[in-house]
Structure 1
Amino acid sequence: MLRPHAEHAFAHELAALAAADDRPRPERWRLSPWAVATYLLGGTLPDGTVVSPKYVGPRRIVEVAVATLATDRALLLLGVPGTAKTWLSEHLAAAVSGDSTLLVQGTAGTPEEAIRYGWNYARLLAHGPSRAALVPGPVMRAMAEGMTARVEELTRIPADVQDTLITVLSEKTLPVPELGEEVQAVHGFNLIATANDRDRGVNELSSALRRRFNTVVLPLPADADAEVDIVARRVDQLGRSLRLPAAPEGYEEIRRVVTVFRELREGVTADGRTQLKSPSGTLSTAEAISVVTGGLALAAHFGDGVLRPGDVAAGILGAVVRDPASDPVVWQEYLETVVRERAGWKDFYRACREVGA
């Protein structure tokens, strides 16, 4: 598979954690909260199994998220684009329930049926409303089976559809008025939602719905070293999935991409001496991963397999210049005042000038 679900990609780690886990587990959880946190943050088990970190960030954030899922409150992961909200959501569901696929993808067109249930219209027309004609949605399935459901980009969903979750989260029940029945949640059920704080004002959560969530804000990586580590790990995973050759000398270019993104994102150079204008885009860690992965593909198929400035320059330009009116000015100013004068960056400067010409 091009992109296996977390529970398949890391099945050996989950199995090793389950075998070594002797701590209390909430009902229907595959692992104890301690083991879930270890799966996310990484560690070495007594049998020598190395658990790779899935999330690089403050440990307390992960502990709060896991503890929330062990209560009757739902979890809302909030942050700017690229702070690993979806990634963390998927791995939490995989570790807790062994299944990360009970997913509702939020968009402006997400209907109420996506959260509640739909109908098999052939059976509905032939026999009328019945259990056999009902098609449960991911949330209904999670309630009935004691699993973890996921709702991505909650604030992209229309407000009236969002409010479908209020009864689910407060009463732990989902009415089916057509059948005169209801589905009640069993132990183990909970819900993880993600929201992009750049989408504030799109479809704000009502106060009634927000009260049903415990909100955990995911920060951007604290420093350049942490961000470089995240990018390098994910690029390695993606490269192996796409069967790209490893870039033996690519670490310098990864650090360079991260440095450019961080400086433009924060509006100041790493040494704090030069104030910069920030472009309209977010320049997130996820975008840095995309730029480096694209560079690896260029190096593999059109170069000598070594990641070089020319392989990442076009990707950086595409990530920075989103608004054709203002962003080119920001980028050119950064190139000429920072990149051009930075020791050891001449090759990178020339590559960026070439793609921007």
Structure 2
Amino acid sequence: MTTDATTTGPGEALRPHAEDAFAGELRALAAADDRPRPERWRLSPRSVATYLLGGTLPDGTVITPKYVGPRRIVEVAVTTLATDRALLLLGVPGTAKTWVSEHLAAAVSGDSTLLVQGTAGTPEEAIRYGWNYARLLAHGPSREALVPSPVMRAMAEGMTARVEELTRIPADVQDTLITVLSEKTLPIPELGQEVQAVRGFNLIATANDRDRGVNELSSALRRRFNTVVLPLPATAEAEVEIVSRRVDQIGGSLDLPPATDGLAEIRRVVTVFRELRDGVTADGRTKLKSPSGTLSTAEAISVVTGGLALAAHFGDGVLRPSDVAAGLLGAVVRDPSADQVVWQEYLEAVVREREGWKDFYRACREVAA
């Protein structure tokens, strides 16, 4: 994606698009890529997988991992995009569905911005097309008066479109995608025309299976997708790595201290999240009650980022227990009546007795008082 003089440059953006933030890596991968590429793809499928999973190129360029998880999951996702089937990334909140979707689109098409954000109020026009009503009233229906959706643009240009939170979109609007995905065409009955998808077009949708207020996909629509389930991190070390990497990326744009300086606290946050999420301590000896929230990796990233901001602006720049305690409380106690009891029991039965966690226990007790 390019920017012009009227837009914010990649170096100034608070959160650059993937194709801007990792432009150097994408250029290096394209230069070293000697494998066949599907029509209009910027990289071969193998290089797209390398971009997501990380690696070292023959010239020594290091490609940083964007996703830490099973390689086969990424390979299946990339291969799906090289076929005529759309890709549905499914998983609990915080399993990097949006993150993977964005990076897949950036690596395949060089543009991750052809995005439809799903909500309960998403209209049909967001997926099909809308109208410039001033031109429509002045001159009647015409292609000049038509406002293409991101999906229509992706079809016409052979790009990758993204639909976030597909199951939050009303069911009748979801089904607008059936013709797009099965016939690879988008009718425009007002003009007696249609837009046919050119080679290179595909669509990535994300959905989570634990959220409230969702609209189940119809069987007809689900058949148009190849579903890939993104799991929670398999091990504590993998989750620590994910949190550390993502916090460093976020902190870099906010001038925060390196996350690696607070690795001990990151490990503690991840341990707390995993134990409460699993309902058992890491050693398997003590069963625990789980709170009402999901305690996802994304929430752990938020807690650590907030802690680093506290350390940078109101401390000595080193992440300490007092910096993450309040964020932890807010993440765990979503339902004040039920979750407060869960948190207190965990503090007294586990945290207080754990060797080396005294400062952490005191900090959590202070904010919970």
Classify the TM-score, shorter chain.
over 0.9
Q: 1:171 to 1:247 in 2, by over 3 A?
A: closer
Of residues 195, 205, 217, the one that matches 1:183 is 195
State whether residues 290 and 342 of structure 2, in contact with CA within 8 Å, keep that contact through their aligned partners in structure 1.
yes
CA distance in 2: counterparts of 1:158 and 1:352, whole angstroms: 41
Match of 1:18?
Answer: 30
5 Å-filtered alignment, 1:66-105, equals: 66-105=78-117
State the shift of 1:77 in Å: 0.1
Match of 1:164?
Answer: 176
State whether residues 248 and 306 of structure 1, in contact with CA within 8 Å, keep that contact through their aligned partners in structure 2.
no
State whether residues 156 and 199 of structure 1, in contact with CA within 8 Å, keep that contact through their aligned partners in structure 2.
no
Q: What is the TM-score with the length of structure 2 in the denominator?
A: 0.96
State the shift of 1:294 in Å: 0.2
State the shift of 1:125 in Å: 0.4
CA distance in 2: counterparts of 1:244 and 1:199, whole angstroms: 32
Of residues 227, 240, 243, the one that matches 1:228 is 240
Q: 1:190 to 1:288 in 2, by over 3 A?
A: same
Of residues 258, 262, 281, the one that matches 1:269 is 281
Of residues 202, 215, 218, the one that matches 2:214 is 202
5 Å-filtered alignment, 1:326-341, equals: 326-341=338-353
CA distance in 1: counterparts of 2:260 and 2:231, whole angstroms: 30
Q: Does 1:130 align with 2:142?
A: yes
CA distance in 2: counterparts of 1:179 and 1:158, whole angstroms: 26
Task: Note the alpha carbon deviations across 1:109-152, whole angstroms, 9 max, x for none.
Answer: 00000000000000000000000000000000000000000000
Match of 2:185?
Answer: 173
Of residues 6, 14, 27, the one that matches 1:2 is 14
Return 5+ residue gaps in structure 2 as ranges: 1-12
State whether residues 6 and 91 of structure 1, in contact with CA within 8 Å, keep that contact through their aligned partners in structure 2.
yes
Moved more, 194-203 or 134-143: 194-203
State whether residues 308 and 319 of structure 2, in contact with CA within 8 Å, keep that contact through their aligned partners in structure 1.
yes
1:181 aligned partner, one-letter code: Q
Give the RMSD, CA atoms, in angstroms: 0.8
Q: What is the TM-score with the length of structure 1 in the denominator?
A: 0.99
2:309 aligned partner, one-letter code: A
Match of 1:211?
Answer: 223
Task: Note the alpha carbon deviations across 1:221-261, whole angstroms, 9 max, x for none.
Answer: 00000000000000111110111122563000000000000
Match of 2:73?
Answer: 61
State the shift of 1:325 in Å: 1.6
Q: Does 1:349 align with 2:361?
A: yes
CA distance in 2: counterparts of 1:50 and 1:241, whole angstroms: 21
1:320 aligned partner, one-letter code: V
Q: 1:248 to 1:191 in 2, by over 3 A?
A: closer
Task: Note the alpha carbon deviations across 1:11-32, whole angstroms, 9 max, x for none.
Answer: 0000000000000000000000
State whether residues 296 and 307 of structure 1, in contact with CA within 8 Å, keep that contact through their aligned partners in structure 2.
yes
State whether residues 249 and 306 of structure 1, in contact with CA within 8 Å, keep that contact through their aligned partners in structure 2.
yes
Of residues 237, 248, 255, the one that matches 1:243 is 255
CA distance in 2: counterparts of 1:63 and 1:26, whole angstroms: 15
Q: Does 1:280 align with 2:289?
A: no
Of residues 302, 310, 323, the one that matches 1:298 is 310
CA distance in 1: counterparts of 2:329 and 2:217, whole angstroms: 35
Give the share of equivalent positions with the same residue, in percent. 90
The DSSP-based 3-state class of the residue aligned with 2:210 is helix
CA distance in 1: counterparts of 2:287 and 2:271, whole angstroms: 15
State the shift of 1:200 in Å: 7.1
State the shift of 1:307 in Å: 0.2
The DSSP-based 3-state class of the residue aligned with 2:195 is strand
The DSSP-based 3-state class of the residue aligned with 1:250 is helix
State whether residues 244 and 260 of structure 2, in contact with CA within 8 Å, keep that contact through their aligned partners in structure 1.
no
CA distance in 2: counterparts of 1:185 and 1:264, whole angstroms: 47
State the shift of 1:199 in Å: 3.2
State whether residues 147 and 188 of structure 1, in contact with CA within 8 Å, keep that contact through their aligned partners in structure 2.
yes
Q: Does 1:315 align with 2:327?
A: yes
1:229 aligned partner, one-letter code: E
Task: Note the alpha carbon deviations across 1:305-343, whole angstroms, 9 max, x for none.
Answer: 000000000000000000112000000000000000000
State whether residues 244 and 259 of structure 2, in contact with CA within 8 Å, keep that contact through their aligned partners in structure 1.
no
State whether residues 247 and 305 of structure 1, in contact with CA within 8 Å, keep that contact through their aligned partners in structure 2.
no
The DSSP-based 3-state class of the residue aligned with 1:221 is coil
Match of 1:255?
Answer: 267
The DSSP-based 3-state class of the residue aligned with 1:277 is coil
Return 5+ residue gaps in structure 1 as ranges: none
The DSSP-based 3-state class of the residue aligned with 1:326 is helix
Moved more, 280-289 or 247-256: 247-256
2:65 aligned partner, one-letter code: P
State the shift of 1:195 in Å: 0.2
